[in-house]
């Protein structure tokens, strides 16, 4: 079902339209939360990978000296 089909011309009762729209809002918020979590996890993993790479490069340079 499309959001546009939940308008006043819909055969759904006002209560059902309200519940449907409420569920859509909840799903939208959850989607934003999940996307934010994925982005944050990616940043944290990237920071850890960069720190490990820097540590390995410093150790390699120290061995060369």
Please state whether the predicted TM-score (pTM) of the whole model is above 0.85.
no
Predicted confidence at residue 50, as pLDDT, reads 94
Asked if 54 and 40 touch (Cβ cutoff 8 Å), the reply is no
Q: What are the tens digits of pLDDT across the range 31-40?
A: 988 999 999 9
H helical segments located in the chain: 14-64
Task: Compute CA distances 49 → 3, 41, 53, whole Å.
Answer: 42, 12, 6
Q: What are the tens digits of pLDDT across the range 9-62?
A: 667 788 888 898 899 999 988 998 899 999 999 999 999 999 999 999 999 999
Report angle CA 31, 36, 38 to the nearest 5 degrees: 95
pLDDT at 2 over 70: no
């Amino acid at each position: 079902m499309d959001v546009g089909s939940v308008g006043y011309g819909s055969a759904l009762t006002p209560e059902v339209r309200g519940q449907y729209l409420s569920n859509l809002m909840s799903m939208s918020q959850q989607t934003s939360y999940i996307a934010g979590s994925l982005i944050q996890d990616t940043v944290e993993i990237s920071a850890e990978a960069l720190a490990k790479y820097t540590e390995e490069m410093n150790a390699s340079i120290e061995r060369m000296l």
